[in-house]
């Protein structure tokens, strides 16, 4: 293997003095509906996307408004139907929604737990190939805190999935972190690795703008498979034999591994709740990311639900923590 462009990057705790912490919080949804229009990366069709506030404990739900009966597709790992070049979900009546991963990453990084996503086509618009446009939409929509504590999934036993030199794992840890490494036999990409504590607001800035990428040599084959029909230098980093073809170059020297980590965060959010644990991936992609979430959830001895402390939620809303205990319903 000819790896030239080796880079290590730990935008972690030391340089910015970031404290590792997990602040207890209530569930959150968006304050206002908001939408955008774009094209699907693989189908190349124009799609409009609308985000709407959703009730507590509903999670992320996609709705195909273009299909009879407006089928609902919950954004959870057991609904993943396909992981060829993107993460696609399937719901009632075989309704599909593809390329959910960057939008899911934006929800994870903006800490939006409950939201309805209406789409009038089979694919989330690719926008610029990153999560930044979705993070901007969420910022514009605003956040509404809900009167229920957030429920997280705490990893209590290591879970590992592997396939042909690729690996992804989750280990118990007091704080959530992600560590990803990639290896491509192309000098413009090479080997890159990145390890970060899961600090959503900061990761929205350092991972959010990292774009999806592909190799010019693969594009003809992808098109023959009916994929990447909407792909262009406007929505992906394309690597040719001599290097990056995009006129503006890269957004970060290690944009490739940052994007991989963004994908991992979006795919991991398909667990249905934020995870407490240490995520590690080596050469992992959508298939392995989703397999890991499924393997975790399938092993009931590997995780448990943890509600964020009621008193901390109440501190935020200004209410006394003493009323958090359920009171007899006779009142
Ligand atoms: Zn991606």
Residues facing residue 303 across a β-bridge: 155
Q: Tell me which residue of 124, 318, 141 sits closest to 235, measured CA to CA.
A: 124
* Cβ contact 187:5 at 8 Å: yes
Token pair of 264 as six digits: 């991992």
* Predicted local distance difference test score (pLDDT) of residue 53: 98
Give the phi and the psi of residue 87 in degrees, each rounded to 5.
-105, 120
CA of 321 to the centre of ligand 1 (A): 41
CA of 305 to the centre of ligand 1 (A): 28
CA of 199 to the centre of ligand 1 (A): 20
* Predicted local distance difference test score (pLDDT) of residue 232: 86
Separation between Cα atoms, residue 236 and residue 242, nearest integer Å: 17
CA of 160 to the centre of ligand 1 (A): 22
CA of 262 to the centre of ligand 1 (A): 7
Q: What CATH number has the domain spanning 10-23+152-307? A: 3.30.1700.10
Give the phi and the psi of residue 239 in degrees, each rounded to 5.
-105, 120
237, with CB counted inside 10 A (0-12, 13-18, 19+), is: buried
Q: Where are the domains of the chain?
A: 10-23+152-307, 27-149
CA of 314 to the centre of ligand 1 (A): 37
Token pair of 271 as six digits: 């667990």
* pLDDT per residue rounded down to tens, the chain (331 residues): 333 444 555 554 433 334 445 568 999 999 999 999 999 988 889 999 999 999 999 999 999 999 999 999 999 999 999 888 889 999 988 999 999 999 999 999 999 999 999 999 999 999 999 999 999 999 999 999 999 999 999 999 999 999 999 999 999 999 999 999 999 989 999 999 999 999 999 999 999 999 999 998 888 788 888 777 888 899 999 999 999 999 999 999 999 999 999 999 999 999 999 999 999 999 999 999 999 999 999 999 999 999 986 444 343 444 433 333 333 333 3
* Predicted local distance difference test score (pLDDT) of residue 13: 42
* Cβ contact 204:139 at 8 Å: no
> Check: CATH 3.30.230.20 for 27-149?
yes
Separation between Cα atoms, residue 43 and residue 240, nearest integer Å: 23
Separation between Cα atoms, residue 329 and residue 326, nearest integer Å: 8
3-state secondary structure of 59: coil
* Predicted local distance difference test score (pLDDT) of residue 320: 37
CA of 258 to the centre of ligand 1 (A): 10
Token pair of 240 as six digits: 């040719």
* Predicted local distance difference test score (pLDDT) of residue 316: 42
CA of 102 to the centre of ligand 1 (A): 6
For CA atoms 165, 168, 171, 174, give the dihedral sign: positive
Catalytic machinery residues: 286
93, with CB counted inside 10 A (0-12, 13-18, 19+), is: exposed
CA of 212 to the centre of ligand 1 (A): 5
* Cβ contact 42:228 at 8 Å: yes
CA of 4 to the centre of ligand 1 (A): 23
């Amino acid at each position: 293997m000819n790896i030239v462009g080796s880079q290590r990057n730990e935008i972690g705790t030391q340089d910015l003095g970031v404290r590792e912490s997990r602040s207890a919080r209530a569930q959150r949804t968006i304050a206002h509906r908001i939408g955008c229009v774009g094209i699907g990366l693989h189908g190349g069709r124009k799609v409009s996307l609308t985000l709407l506030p959703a009730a507590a404990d509903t999670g992320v739900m996609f709705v195909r408004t273009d299909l009879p009966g407006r089928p609902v597709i919950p954004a959870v790992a057991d609904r993943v139907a396909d992981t060829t070049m993107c993460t696609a979900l399937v719901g009632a009546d075989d309704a599909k929604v593809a390329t959910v991963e960057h939008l899911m990453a934006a929800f994870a990084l903006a800490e939006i737990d409950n939201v309805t996503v209406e789409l009038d086509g089979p694919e989330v618009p690719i926008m610029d190939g990153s999560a930044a446009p979705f993070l901007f939409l969420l910022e514009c929509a605003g956040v509404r805190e809900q009167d229920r504590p957030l429920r997280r999934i705490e990893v209590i036993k290591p879970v590992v999935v592997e396939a042909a030199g690729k690996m992804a794992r989750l280990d118990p840890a007091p704080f959530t972190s992600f560590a990803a490494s990639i290896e491509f036999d192309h000098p413009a990409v090479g080997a890159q690795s990145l390890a970060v504590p899961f600090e959503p607001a900061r990761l929205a800035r350092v991972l959010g703008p990292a774009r999806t990428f592909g190799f010019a040599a693969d594009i003809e084959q992808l098109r023959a498979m009916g994929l990447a029909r909407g792909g262009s230098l406007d929505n992906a980093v394309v690597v040719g034999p001599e290097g990056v073809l995009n006129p503006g170059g890269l957004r970060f020297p290690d944009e490739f591994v940052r994007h991989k980590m963004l994908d991992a965060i979006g795919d991991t959010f398909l667990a249905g709740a934020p995870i407490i644990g240490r995520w590690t991936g080596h050469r992992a992609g959508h298939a392995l990311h989703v397999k890991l979430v499924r393997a975790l959830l399938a092993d009931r001895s590997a995780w448990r639900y943890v509600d964020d402390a009621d008193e901390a939620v109440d501190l935020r809303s200004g209410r006394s923590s003493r009323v958090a205990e359920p009171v007899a319903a006779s009142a």
